[in-house]
Amino acid sequence: MTALRLALSRIGRLPHARSFASAHRPNSLFSPLDDFAERHIGPDDGETNTMLSHLGYKSMDAFVDEAVPPKIRISADEISNKTIPVFSESQLLARAKDLGSLNKPYKSYIGMGYHCAVVPPVILRNVIENPQWYTPYTPYQPEIAQGRLESLVNFQTMVMSLTSMDIANASLLDEATAAAEGMVMSYVSSGYRKRKFLVDVGVLPQTLAVLRTRAKGFNIDLVVADALSAIEDDMLRKDLCGVLVQYPDVNGHIKDFSTFAESVHAAGALVVCATDLLALTMIKPPGEWGADIVLGNSGRFGVPSGYGGPHGAFFAVTEKLKRKMPGRLVGRSRDATGKPAYRLALQTREQHIRREKATSNICTSQALLANMAAMYAVYHGPIGLRRIAHKVHGFAQVFKDSVESFGYDVANATFFDTITVKVSNAKELHDVSITAGINLRQIDDHSVGVTFDESVTTNNLVDLINVFATASSSSPVSLQQLQEPDAPAIPPSLERTSEFLPHQVFNKHHSETEMLRYINHLVSKDVGLVHSMIPLGSCTMKLNSTSSMIPLTWEEYSCIHPFVPFDQVQGYHTIIKELEQDLARITGFHSTSLQPNSGAAGEYAGLCVIRAYHESRGESARDICLIPLSAHGTNPASAVMAGLKVVSVKVQDDGNLDIQDLRSKAEKHKDKLAAFMITYPSTFGVFEDGVQEACKIIHDNGGQVYLDGANLNAQIGLTNPATCGGDVCHMNLHKTFAIPHGGGGPGVGPICVAEHLSPFLPSHPVMPLGGKAINAVSAGPFGSSSIHLISWAYIKMLGGQGLSNATKIALLNANYMASRLSGHYNLRYKNVNGRVAHELLIDLVEFDKKAGLKVMDFAKRLQDYGFHPPTCSWPISTCMLIEPTESETLEEIDRFCDAMIQIRKEAEDVISGVQPKDNNVLKNAPHPMHVLTLPDTEWNRPYTRHTAAYPLPYLEEKKFWPTVSRIDDAYGDLNLICDCSSVEEMATN
């Protein structure tokens, strides 16, 4: 035995030493010590054996054999360190740095809706690089999410103020998909009667591509034309539901749409306006000239371009449209003591409630990026934003004057930040610019576009001007020769005269000290993975490792425009290609598209691919989609968006799919059957034995199988969607592959497909695939490209063996938890061996019957114990769906189980009458500090303050305090307020 091995063997025998579940000790002195699997997987070898023994197993293999049906198992060789080699943390970061060096840091003036944002360091370090901001979940439990809810209200207020619209949501996925939502809203607002939607020629090309995809599913007729003239067409007006205009447009023009909007409204249609928030500090806001829906990309407000995203799209509407608006909306309400509090409002609009009646499948939005944009506005305030806008506009004016002095003609007399220059040979000019390390937008053979942003320095400006000087054989200029413009190049009738952002929050935190304190004050109100386990079923809240997050904000990845030439992003494309290949291997499929930028977008894309496949075979009549009641909540809405008709399939009492009902409906609709959507393992938390038989039934009747990959964390290395019988699946990179949830986004939902579906994967106008490919489903060619880095790093650092081990531990943690809770709660579903998959469903209906205690009473009480509650009232209204993931240690799992068992005892006190049904520790939960410090004369509760705050001993050392008591949802919806308090309200209060 070598000295190293002898030393390691002694360490392993130390009484308090912690070994690891997923890695052996180093075989040699030269093996890396920073093995990622050891840090990612929570239980060590001892804890793993403890849980296996508790469940009655002597080995992990024996346990897995009873949890996962043998007929769907794959060989261990398919996902191994040979097929997916493993990197240590330091090796991965070194490789990321090497690949980043292949991305050329050229200065881009391409525009087209993307800008190189300047991220204030106080926001960079304390928001996007802060796990307290990026690890929380969507704020469905508002009492422990008041910080980011307040910040999202700031975002909504910012959008409402800059656009002069009545109400705004808390972000959408990107500008192009937001425009598609606007189009569908227009169609719905026409009573589903008018099918023509006019798109102005000045709209961004990627937006038009996404509109084409979305229009097909709703049978909307897109008309692309000069909107100002096309609106005079009487035939068009008769069937017109809406119009989309870009303001300023893609070539920089600022048009007056006031009269145009009146004409559109006279035709009974809606005006949808895509715009730019920074421009709106200087130009007349759309709400003042008649727009009904206003949308765009908030990315230039301090969010890195990241080769296409993620960025938070904004979406604002008039008062009359608020209940049809897609996406999440944060509103002000009050808690049980009357204290103001925020929560998600009007949730009955959302897809998981409306299902096949929904016309939008929006689930994940872009909360983290919306919060960054809001913080940017808070930090700069109205004066700072106006100053930035004036500099951007002024640089554009200086550039225009300079190139005109060289003899060039400028196509647009009005502009904010974009100049279209007419040239004799665009390719020659482009060659000169590339030599100078500059990217321009080549519009056609005789036109180039130049767009300015906040990041452009005076040296950049001089270098840019001299590119045009060189191409025209003019003398180069120096900074000293440049003249400041006398006045803005915006028509007086289109200049903004109204104030914006008068609210106190945007006029207070302008020093870094104040901003730092404000950011940390807000985040102190929220529970994230930095505090405790977040056991949300079907959400997979696992570790978001620091090592996988580090490259995200490196300049070589964060400051790249999505439309730069291919040879400038070789590093990015290597990462993208490797990630595509690894995901295809993991799922067992042939090809991957990373373009969908959320799980729901992946569902939609996969179904569009299936439809395109059927059409290519002359079977366009296939439009029936079978969906079990146990499928994921977004599935029916996604099917409707793809133009499919939903037919529900029954589920048996034991939670399994009703195979006979499936067979009956598949055969009934065999001539029109397009697809079958199934979540596997099911949302009931079990691996169903009959999944392969179900898929064969669909194939035998001419359909394709869409396997929802929301629960892929239970499959990797043990089975895969292809083996189960699927033809296409999506994955949630923000679940299985460790991208942070960000408090409600970003997310990524790539799709993997079988070989026969590969030709139909989404294309993009900037990087067209040609052939049979469907049109784009998101604005960026690769969706939210920058955060692909996180999943790429996660897969590489775990390697094949680590990925498989992670899945096994995820299954073990869930089954151990099910065993511990089963004597206290009713475990709703399990397989024939008594096992669940990676999550478990407990039914609380008995407590409602015996004591009037609802699911939400248990959820709110868990907050007092320092835990974010599991998924509540879904997929069954009386249940909690619990998923611990592989990242949690046995100690944390036991702590959660202890809390749930103690709450069960508290419920028993209500059942037995020790505490009254209407005034007990569950009904009154949570208990924030301001409630616990009430005077004795006001403390009217039949339990002590200590019982409320410290029901278990660990809380006396480690306690998270909710900042509000239980929030009144109904009051908030009836008294809808979705913006910050005005100055007058603040003064009154």
What residues have CB less than 8 Å from 791, skipping those under 6 apart? Answer: 548, 579, 733, 737, 738, 739, 748
**Separation of alpha carbons 390 and 116, rounded Å:** 17
The share of the chain scoring above pLDDT 70, in percent, equals 95
Residue 971 token pair: 């009051």
For range 948-955, the mean pLDDT: 98
Nearest to 464 by CA among 558, 387, 399, 371: 399
- In one-letter notation, the amino acid at residue 932 is L
The mean pLDDT of the chain is: 94
Helix (H) or strand (E) run with residue 270 in it: strand 270-275
- Return the pLDDT at 4: 44
Q: What is the mean pLDDT of residues 706-730?
A: 97
Q: Which comes out higher in pLDDT, residue 767 or 895?
A: 895
pTM for this model (two decimals): 0.96
Whether 919 has a pLDDT exceeding 80, the answer reads yes
DSSP assignment letter at 383: H
Compute the distance between CA of residue 110 and CA of residue 658 in angstroms, rounded to an integer.
54
CB atoms within 10 A of CB 464: 23
Confidence of residue 709 (pLDDT cuts 50, 70, 90): very high
d(CA 117, CA 376): 11
pLDDT confidence bin for 986, thresholds 50/70/90: very low
Q: Residue 267: what pLDDT? A: 98
CA separation for the pair 232, 217 (Å, rounded): 28
**pLDDT grade, residue 372 (50/70/90)?**
very high
Cβ distance 639 to 678 under 8 Å?
A: no
CA of residue 262 relative to chain centroid, distance: 36
Q: Report d(CA 546, CA 563) in Å as an integer.
A: 29
Q: Strand (E) positions, 156-267?
A: 167-168, 196-200, 221-225, 240-247
Model confidence over 187-204: pLDDT tens digits? 999 999 999 999 999 999
Handedness of CA 164, 166, 171, 175 (dihedral sign): negative
Between CA 67 and CA 70 the distance in angstroms is 9
Listed range (569-583, 762-776, 933-947) with the worst mean pLDDT: 762-776
| Residue partners of 560: CB distance under 8 A and separation at least 6 | 103, 108, 305, 306, 307, 568, 569, 572
Distance CA(618)–CA(269), nearest Å, equals 35
* Model confidence pLDDT, tens digit, residues 383-410: 999 999 999 999 999 999 999 999 999 9
pLDDT band at 985 (very low <50, low <70, confident <90, very high): low
pLDDT bin (cut points 50, 70, 90) of residue 982 is: low
24 pLDDT tier (thresholds 50, 70, 90): low
Whether residue 411 has pLDDT greater than 80? yes
Question: Quick one: DSSP state of residue 283?
Answer: B
Average pLDDT of the segment spanning 194-223 = 98
CA distances from 106 to 119, 553, 560, 561 (A): 18, 17, 8, 10
Q: Work out the pLDDT band at 208, boundaries 50, 70, 90.
A: very high
What pLDDT is attached to residue 348?
56
- C-alpha span between 614 and 621 (Å, rounded): 8
pLDDT tens by residue, 311-369: 999 999 999 999 899 999 999 999 999 999 999 998 754 444 444 555 677 776 899 99
> What confidence score (pLDDT) does residue 275 get?
98
pLDDT for the residue numbered 579: 98
* Half-sphere exposure at residue 286, Cβ-oriented, CA atoms within 13 angstroms: 32
pLDDT of amino acid 771 = 83
Q: For position 16, what pLDDT does the model report?
A: 43
Name the more confident of 986 and 230.
230
Taking 80 as the threshold, does the pLDDT of residue 770 lie above it? no
- What does the pLDDT read at residue 1? 43
CB-based burial of residue 27 (10 Å sphere; 0-12 exposed, 13-18 middle, 19+ buried)?
exposed
Angle, helix 426-435 to helix 458-471, in steps of 10 degrees? 140
Start-to-end CA distance of the chain, whole Å, equals: 75
What is residue 767's predicted lDDT score, i.e. its pLDDT? 86
pLDDT surpassing 50 at residue 21: no
**Per-residue pLDDT, 356:** 52
Can you tell me whether residue 187 is helix, strand or coil?
helix
What string of DSSP letters covers 862-879? HHHTT----EES-SSTTE
Strand partners, 296: 275, 314
Q: What is the DSSP letter of 777?
A: S
Q: What is the pLDDT of residues 272-319, one digit of tens each?
A: 999 999 999 999 999 999 999 999 999 999 999 999 999 999 999 999
Kind plus residue range of the DSSP H or E element containing 815? helix 788-822
Residue type, 712: L
Longest dimension (CA), the chain: 93
Query: Which pLDDT score is estimated for 978?
Result: 79
pLDDT(610) > 60: yes
Question: Which residue from 290, 310, 289 is spatially nearest to 299, judged by alpha carbons?
Answer: 310
Residues 6+ apart with CB under 8 A from 831: 66, 67, 69, 686, 687, 689
Is the confidence at residue 663, as pLDDT, over 60? yes
DSSP string covering 715-733: TTTT--HHHHT-SEEEE-T
**Amino acid identity at 674:** A
pLDDT tens, 829-846? 999 999 999 999 999 999
Alpha helices, DSSP H, located in 472-598 = 512-523, 546-549, 555-558, 570-587
